[in-house]
Amino acid sequence: MQKNELAKQIRSLRDEVKASIEQANNRVSMLEERMASLEEGTNTCSDGVTELEQQDGDTIRIFPDFTQSVARQRAAFGPARQILRQCEGVKYGLLYPARLKITTPDGVQQMFSDPVKATAFAKGLMAP
């Protein structure tokens, strides 16, 4: 009799564990989908402006709030970014606080803290 009762309890616990695992897997899948959606939204804008599209079709824009000092440092990369916009296949972005990351068409990545060096590099990428 005791074995049957023990076997019932084990089956019951096994079922509870299976249900909990299934619930956790569903939650993980949902969170992974949401994260992919958010990552896709953040990749659609530059300069840290993030656009998120809600399920009802509305768009939410999130703008970064930098100190004046950081904003000035980031603005100093403007000339380099202007040049980079004209370069085909070149990807670039500003990282916090004020670093310009450039990826050339062949996949080489460069990081700049100095706007003058970044501008010189960008000019070198311009097609002759």
12 plus 58 within the same structural domain: yes
Q: According to DSSP H, which parts of the chain are helical?
A: 2-42, 68-75, 78-85, 115-125
75 plus 51 within the same structural domain: no
Per-residue pLDDT in tens (0 to 9) along the chain, 128 residues? 688 888 889 899 999 999 999 999 889 888 888 877 766 654 444 556 666 777 777 887 777 778 899 989 999 999 999 999 998 889 999 998 899 999 998 989 999 999 999 999 999 987 66
Structure tokens at 78: 């403007």
d(CA 91, CA 104): 7
50 plus 99 within the same structural domain: no
83 plus 52 within the same structural domain: no
- State which of 62, 81, 97 marks the end of a domain: 62
**Residues pairing with 52 in the sheet:** 60
The edge-to-edge listing of strands for the beta sheet with 91-95 is 91-95, 99-103, 109-112
- State which of 62, 91, 107 marks the end of a domain: 62
For the chain, what is the domain count? 2
113 plus 87 within the same structural domain: yes
The CATH code of the domain that includes 94 is: 3.30.250.20
50 plus 74 within the same structural domain: no
Residues comprising the chain, all counted:
128
75 plus 98 within the same structural domain: yes
89 plus 119 within the same structural domain: yes
Cβ atoms of residues 9 and 2 within 8 Å: no
80 plus 57 within the same structural domain: no
Predicted confidence at residue 116, as pLDDT, reads 96
- State which of 44, 62, 80 marks the end of a domain: 62
72 alpha carbon, distance to own chain's centre: 24
Domain around 29:
2-62
